[in-house]
Chains A and B, each alone.
Chain A
Amino acid sequence: MRGTKILVVCIYILFLMLPIYWLLNMSFKTTNEILGGFSWYPQEFTLESYKTIFTDPTWYSGYINSLKYVLMNTVISVSLALPAAYAFSRYRFMGDKHLFFWLLSNRMAPPAIFVLPFVELYSAMNLFDTSLAVALAHCLFNIPLAVWILEGFMSGVPREIDETAYIDGYSFPRFFVKIFMPLIAAGIGVTAFFCFMFSWVEMLLAKNLTSVAAKPIVAVMTRTASTAGYELGLLAAAGALTLIPGVIVIWFVRKHIAKGFALGRV
């Protein structure tokens, strides 16, 4: 019985890991070998693709640009969502439930419909082709998500703690930073993780709001062919590198994610 269980788990993991293995496999092959035929592992092991990415500015600047707007977006989303989530969690005001739902419904709209207005708006405000433009555009779906997740964590903190702090003489900002934020640190971590990931993988808005100066890696990667013909090895290497930030972030928040799931908000 135990043996069967382990076998099932192994097959499952194998199944999940296969595409990722194939990506890594390809990234160490030359393009000719990839196009040449089928092989389980690189016949001619090469780091040439990685070398190109780290030395060619058109490639590595893609990563830098992406990281720039992703980090900007994460900071903006979390810092704006914190007070908003607090309000939703602690106060009753006119239309609070509708507003909360409306925030969520923003996530249901396909980003494609926002592309045209955003391009127009950002061009008019001279923000087109900047990291800030993408960071702000991603707030559209990340802030609602952040508010949603944080509200769940905040509602888990008894309101009496807030009141005890006021009775003790804390001012609101001081209470919020010194007492409240440490209490929901796990929630902030999980929220930041999701903002980071959604912003990192989003392509449509990122691609259309930039042209040259702030071109993100996801946009660079869509360039399947260049003057040198197909560059599949290079693409595979870029793909493999794109996975790394996600892996790092997951490593940091893996414990808290479970808590987020337990609260039913993630």
Chain B
Amino acid sequence: MSARTDSAPHFPAEPDYLRIEGISKRFDDALAVDNVTLGVRRREIFALLGSSGCGKSTLLRMIAGLERPTAGRIVLDGEDLAEVPAFRRPTNMMFQSYALFPHMSVAGNVAFGLRQERPRLTRAQIDARVAEMLELVQLQRYAARKPHELSGGQQQRVALARSLAKEPKLLLLDEPLAALDKKIRQHTQLELVSLIRRVGVTCILVTHDQEEAMTMASRIGVMSEGVLLQVGTPDEIYEHPSCRFTAEFIGETNLFHGRLEGGRLNGSDFPAPLAIAAEAMPAPGTEVWLSVRPERVVLGRQPPAAVNGNVPINAAQGEVDEIAYLGSHSVYHLRLGGGGRRMIASVPSAHWGEASAPARGERVWAWWLAPDGVVLTR
């Protein structure tokens, strides 16, 4: 899990720059976007994260004006965009796989939007702005090339320059890096963030790649089946998922399912009732799920000693089924008790000290502190 880069400072007092209010989109009989309400702040990089078909691209296209919402309002900087056609909206989109005009040069692509400005810009104004944008993405030398003569990374930068040329109020990025190799992608993520920060444009990013979302965005909205499930900073979303989908979609987790009785989770496939700690404990008898991140699980050859006196601990013995050694840490797949319940634990390599790490087939203890589990009710 990559840590996010420094996030933009939040100014809770400032009203939302972009307000999406109860927006829905129905295609024939399928509800692609289901009553999404969302606020995005000025100069923020906001990521819409979800698997393909979750409605995140449709939401983006509605903001751009390329799709008409079935219901709801989109208000950008105080202006209701409902009746504003796409070509008049102060938003610009960088399309997935870029949609560069193949018959125009790099400079022609960047100039295209500027040529549509009314009142018209002079040729000198356009040329100056194109030069400025190409310098921003460091493609001055490629101005006369055609898109197909460029590498994937260069095409991506042309697309970015083209979508920034008109100084949009809102920059929309649709899977901006999906077309790049994994190696270039990681480098480009940070480059893109610093460039967007430098320009100071408010940005909505659509991606299915949680690492990309966490690296680039100051806040993330997790979507599934057209519904916006949770909005938060990357660490909020990772450490405090609000539902099973988020817990499982962002990173890996161990989920235990049971019923709340006497402050414990009963009936799960964990060998013992589970001690839990939640700020707002749901009513007894409620069906809940407990999410425990692998790195919160501790492994040891001995049963755990009590910590700080009274923090409850959940512990069970299990057999090591698989080990994935990843250098800095290893991921252990355990089979708990005698049953088929599996559990994963991510253990730092330094954890074992002088002793050798457990081998496959060895019986070990696995435990975690009750506050490290997150109680989910949906």
Chains A and B bind each other: no
